Structure 1
Amino acid sequence: MARVDYFHDPHAPKANSLRPAVSAFVQDDAGRLLMIRRTDNDKYAIPGGQQEVGETLTQATIREVMEETGVAVEVTDLIGLYSNPEHVIEYDDGEVRQEFSICFRARPLGGDLRTSSESKEVQWVSLNEIDRLDIHPSIRLRINHALAETTTPYFT
């Protein structure tokens, strides 16, 4: 399903849904960041997705990272809670979702990098290479907060 992200755009459609989602900031022992290139908007992102009924937030995070990247992770910390009414995502089925995502820090446990129906590229990216990637501002914000390593989670 294709999507269009609107970020602080006065011409954005009005949101008609709000669904809990998770994302994961995962670094390997070399300090590289686990990134995907999304199939729905062609942008680079940290792995994540929608929480399903019957899952905890950490279970959803572990599942989403595995599904999108092939990497098993352990959730270790909360980075922040992201809900911005000025960021809406329009899907080709008519849904217009307001951003609502909980971002966790996680550490890799193993696995082999692989793509999925949601990720056309999966890679470990050196922090000095991040600026060359096309990353949506909402994802870049999460990365910046994770790199700041504050003791309290970010929230809006």
Structure 2
Amino acid sequence: MIDKLAFIEIQNNKILSTRSRGKDVYYIPGGKREKGETDLQALMREIEEELTIILDPSSLSFYGEFMAQAHSHPAGVMVNMRCYTASYEGTIHPAAEIEEVAWLTYNDRDRVSEVDTLIFDDLKSRGLLF
């Protein structure tokens, strides 16, 4: 089981997504927690490293938890994604291993990881993603 956290940012009914160097799919930004980190600590660290923005910890809101086959891992390796929304300071720029930042619509669902497709479906069902 891969334990991950994700930052859901919706603007104009599009979701912020990232593509890492050498990868062929997009992922909702976030990452794995380091030993002893809380959800808040891990998500704030990962987002600052990947996107150069600072999440406002007082605005952090749990969105949902999703589980699916982990992309590019052997069958049976699952990823559990705990998703949050938050306000932030700064301007989004790709950093660290992130090669590209993109704003995706529901029609881009075939360009994302397995767990992200579940999140896209949930966002669409709530009228947040078109």
TM-score with structure 1 length normalisation?
A: 0.63
Percent identity, aligned pairs only? 20
Q: CA deviation at 1:76?
A: 0.9
> How many pairs were matched up?
124
Extract unaligned runs of 5+ from structure 2.
none
Partner SS state of residue 62, structure 1: helix
Cα distance in 2 for partners of 1:96, 1:66 equals: 31
Aligned match for 1:144, one of 88, 113, 121: 121
Larger helix proportion of the pair: 2
Residues 148 and 59 of structure 1, relative CA distance in 2, 3 Å threshold: farther
Helix, strand or coil at the partner of 1:100: strand
Among 65, 79, 82, the alignment partner of 1:100 is 79
Question: Residue in 2 aligned with 1:117?
Answer: 96
Q: Which moved more, 1:31-40 or 1:49-58?
A: 31-40
Change (3 A) 1:33 1:49: same
Which has the higher Rg, Structure 1 or Structure 2? 1
Of 43, 53, 64, the match for 1:79: 64
Partner SS, residue 20 of structure 1:
strand
1:5 match: none
Q: CA RMSD in A?
A: 3.0
Q: Where do 4+ consecutive residues of structure 1 move more than 3 Å?
A: 86-90
Q: 2: distance between equivalents of 1:102 and 1:26?
A: 15
Q: Who is 1:9 aligned against?
A: none
The answer for the alignment partner of 2:9 in structure 1 is: 26
The question of whether the paired residues in 1 share the 8 Å contact of 2:66 and 2:119 is answered with no
* Counterpart-to-counterpart distance in 1, 2:97 and 2:76: 18
Alignment match, 1:56:
38
Distance 2:121 2:84 in 1: 12
Structure 1: 5+ residue stretches without partners: 1-17, 150-156
Kindly provide the amino acid, as one letter, of the partner of residue 121 in structure 1. E
Tell me the TM-score normalised to structure 2 length: 0.73
